[in-house]
């Protein structure tokens, strides 16, 4: 017996160009696993623009990475017990930090969908002088240090941001 899962990443963020309703689905993936199997998932990286003049969806050295594991067990009554453990990190090529939001457990019927808002990151992360040279008009939370490095205050940078995983169970 196996379970299939559809995962979508929903971005509602102040640092992105968005639809008029403020929502944007940036990534979708499908994974499947045998009964009780812990299956890894990974979304492709989301470029985070550091300069207000940057165009949407252009490459950036600062990325948001979301991955984790998902496990499904079909219960005797046909519902699926799902254990989801997502990890969210933001990083430059040479430095990263991130958080795990713990394991979330759901009991879902086939084709039922649930949304899980991921917690925002705090702290700082820095990028090198090569990154700093390309920033003329930094976004909130982005600054250039006296050593010509880019410093991102993640609390300020992600202020107002909401990143959610949308999960649908298939059988």
Q: Kindly state the average pLDDT of the residues 129-137.
A: 86
Q: At residue 17, does pLDDT exceed 50?
A: no
* More confident position, 49 or 95: 49
Percent of the chain that is helix, strand, coil (3-state, to 5)? 5, 55, 40
Of 1-5, 61-65, 165-169, the one with minimum mean pLDDT is 1-5
Answer yes or no: are the C-beta atoms of 143 and 124 closer than 8 Å: no
127 in any annotated domain: no
Q: How far is CA 154 from the centre of its chain?
A: 14
CA atoms within 13 A on the CB side of 117: 7
74 in any annotated domain: yes
CA diameter of the chain = 62
What pLDDT, on a 0 to 100 scale, did the predictor assign at position 94? 60
Highest mean pLDDT among 81-90, 97-106, 118-127: 81-90
What pLDDT, on a 0 to 100 scale, did the predictor assign at position 74? 92
Answer yes or no: are the C-beta atoms of 89 and 62 closer than 8 Å: no
pTM (2 decimals)?
0.82
Neighbours of 144 (CB within 10 A): 15
68 in any annotated domain: yes
Mean pLDDT score of the chain, rounded to an integer?
Answer: 83
141 in any annotated domain: no
75 in any annotated domain: yes
Q: At residue 136, does pLDDT exceed 90?
A: no
Task: Report the domain count for the chain.
Answer: 1
Helices (H), the chain: 129-132, 154-157
Sign of CA dihedral 142, 144, 149, 153: negative
40 in any annotated domain: yes
69 in any annotated domain: yes
Residues β-bridged to residue 1: none
Q: Kindly state the average pLDDT of the residues 141-156.
A: 91
Residue 100's domain spans which residues?
Answer: 2-121+162-170
Tell me the pLDDT tens digit for each residue of 53-98. Answer: 776 667 788 888 889 999 999 999 999 999 999 988 888 876 656 6
What pLDDT, on a 0 to 100 scale, did the predictor assign at position 20? 46
Question: Count of residues for the chain?
Answer: 171
Answer yes or no: are the C-beta atoms of 5 and 81 closer than 8 Å: no
66 in any annotated domain: yes
């Amino acid at each position: 017996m196996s379970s299939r899962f559809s995962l979508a990443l929903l971005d509602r963020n102040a640092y992105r160009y968005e639809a008029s309703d403020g929502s944007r689905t940036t990534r979708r993936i499908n994974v499947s696993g045998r009964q009780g199997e812990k299956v890894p998932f990974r979304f492709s990286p989301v470029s985070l623009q550091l300069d207000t003049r940057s165009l949407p969806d252009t490459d950036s050295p600062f990325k948001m990475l979301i991955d984790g594991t998902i496990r499904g067990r079909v219960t005797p009554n046909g519902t699926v017990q799902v254990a989801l453990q997502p990890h969210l990190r933001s990083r430059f090529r040479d430095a990263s930090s991130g958080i795990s939001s713990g394991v979330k457990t759901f009991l879902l019927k086939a084709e039922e969908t649930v949304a899980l808002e991921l917690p925002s990151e705090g702290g700082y992360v820095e990028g090198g002088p090569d990154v700093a040279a390309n920033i003329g008009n930094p976004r909130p939370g982005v600054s250039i240090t006296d050593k010509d490095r880019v410093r991102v205050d993640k609390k300020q940078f992600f202020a107002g941001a909401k990143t959610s995983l949308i999960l649908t169970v298939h059988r």
